[in-house]
Structure 1
């Protein structure tokens, strides 16, 4: 379930702007640890 949420968020971020990839990776890491 964790991977599904991350992938869904990642697709949205990647579609918006390549510059958001780093932010997404950083925040996705925080999400994983929080879960």
Structure 2
């Protein structure tokens, strides 16, 4: 069994951080991230 820290490290190695953006909250409804 692996530790929680190692599991988190493995999961995060497959994810890239997206740039942030500012929008009015109502324009965010239904928005999703595409990569």
TM-score range, shorter chain: 0.3 to 0.5
Of structures 1 and 2, the one with the larger relative CO (CA 8 A, separation 6+) is: 1
Q: Name the TM-score, length of structure 1 as normaliser.
A: 0.33
Comparing both structures, which one devotes a greater share of its residues to helix?
1
